[in-house]
Structure formats: structure tokens, C-alpha cells
Amino acid sequence: MTPAQFIAWQAHMGLTVRAAAELLGVSAAAVGDWRRGTSRTTGRPIKLPPLLPQP
């Protein structure tokens, strides 16, 4: 996921950085890094809720 895609997901969900971090189980600093494209991966995948509800 690119930083732009992450930002679009976050905006669509109406989440603040802190709320996105809590939802994903990571720190607010990690979310900020993802938004800037400067994250260092731990190799631990996360699952983002979908942008749109699934049928």
C-alpha cells in the first residue's frame, strides 16, 4: 500500500492518526511513518478494513 492509498483509506474511514493507530494496533508514530512513506517494516502484516463494505 502506498502512502497515498493509506491516506485515502484513513480519510474514507474518517480516522485521525490516533484512531487509525488504535484500530490497527500500532503506534501513532507508525501511522505517521506510513503516511510519509518512511516506515520500517517489522514483517508483521496488518489487515486494513476494506474501503467499501463487502456485499
pLDDT digits (tens, 9 = 90+) for 4-46: 989 999 999 999 999 999 988 899 999 999 999 887 666 666 6
- 51 pLDDT tier (thresholds 50, 70, 90): low
Q: How many CB atoms lie within 10 A of CB 34?
A: 24
pLDDT of residue 49 exceeding 80: no
pTM, two decimals, is 0.69
Instruction: Using alpha carbons, select from 54, 49, 53 the residue that is nearest to residue 15.
Output: 49
User: CB neighbours (10 Å) of residue 28?
Assistant: 14
